[in-house]
Amino acid sequence: MAGADRANGDALFRSWYLAQAKEKLRPRIAGFATEMGVSYSRIWIRDLKYRWGSCTPGGTLSFNWRIIQAPMIVVDYLIVHELAHILETNHSPEFWNIVAVHVPSWTKARSWLKQHGGRLEW
C-alpha cells in the first residue's frame, strides 16, 4: 500500500505544482512580453522532459511546470530568455543584450539553474 500512496502523493503534488505554474507564469509572461514589445501565439505549461522552456518560430512558448519551484529571478530569466527568441532566434550577443536589459542578474539566475536545477526534477 505504501507504494500506491507514494504514487498518488506524487500525482497530487505534480497536479498542484502544475496548477500553480499556470496561475503564476501566465501573467508574468504577459507582463514581460508587453515590456519587451513582443507577442506570442500561445503558452504551454507542461511536463517537458529535457528543457526548461522553448519558443517556436510561430511564437508558441512552452515551459516546464517544474520551474515554479525555482526562485522567481530564475523564473523571470527563463521567461525573458524564451521571449527574447521572438526577437533573436539564436544566442547571439544581441540576444544576450536583450536578456540583460530585462533581467540584469540573468547570469546569477542561469548559474543557479545549472547548480540547483536537478533538485527541481522529481
Domains and CATH numbers, the chain: 2-120 (3.30.2010.10)
Cell of 97: 543584450
- Mean pLDDT for each 10-residue chunk of the chain (122 residues)? 71 92 96 98 93 95 96 98 97 98 98 95 80
Place of cell 540547483: 116
Model pTM? 0.91
d(CA 1, CA 21): 30
> For residue 10, what pLDDT is reported?
84
